[in-house]
């Protein structure tokens, strides 16, 4: 999957959202649809993280990136500041790459 394709999918998702707002106008959407539309950005970011962490061309790969993401997830879960989460993930990834 190329970056151009990922960006095209993201732009298409937002275009559909914008067109829907234009077509519907002042009417409100059903609550279920509102909740689904609110989850699109989080799903896109999650998909980008997973494909960049575990993807290597057409193959899945477990390497230092997976450990870095795991540490960052734990730090975010423990409510660490964003800068700390990023630095911890990068430091763990760099340390594992240096050791191997």
User: Could you tell me if 3 and 27 lie in one domain?
Assistant: yes
- Whether 76 shows a pLDDT value over 70: the answer reads yes
Provide the whole-model pTM. 0.59
Condensed to tens digits (0 to 9), the pLDDT of residues 12-66 reads 999 988 887 777 777 777 889 889 889 999 999 989 988 888 888 788 888 899 9
User: Could you tell me if 83 and 55 lie in one domain?
Assistant: no
- Whether 85 shows a pLDDT value over 70: the answer reads yes
User: Could you tell me if 29 and 2 lie in one domain?
Assistant: yes
- Whether 1 shows a pLDDT value over 70: the answer reads no
Report CA-CA distances (Å) from 98 to 66, 84, 95: 15, 21, 5
User: Could you tell me if 49 and 87 lie in one domain?
Assistant: no
Domain that holds residue 14: 1-60
User: Could you tell me if 75 and 97 lie in one domain?
Assistant: yes
Please state the domain count of the chain: 2
User: Could you tell me if 44 and 88 lie in one domain?
Assistant: no
Q: What value does the CA radius of gyration of the chain take, rounded to a whole number of Å?
A: 18
Confidence of residue 81 (pLDDT cuts 50, 70, 90): very high
Find out whether 70 and 50 touch, Cβ atoms under 8 Å. no
Average pLDDT value for residue range 79-100: 95
């Amino acid at each position: 999957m190329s970056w151009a394709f990922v960006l095209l999918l993201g732009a298409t998702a937002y275009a559909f959202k914008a067109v829907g707002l234009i077509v519907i106008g002042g009417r409100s959407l059903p609550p279920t649809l509102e909740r689904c539309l609110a989850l699109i950005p989080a799903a896109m970011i999650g998909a980008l993280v997973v494909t960049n962490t575990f993807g290597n061309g057409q193959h899945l790969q477990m390497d230092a990136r997976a450990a870095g993401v795991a540490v960052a997830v734990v730090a975010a879960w423990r409510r660490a500041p964003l800068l700390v989460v990023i630095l911890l993930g990068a430091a763990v990834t760099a340390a594992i790459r240096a050791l191997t």
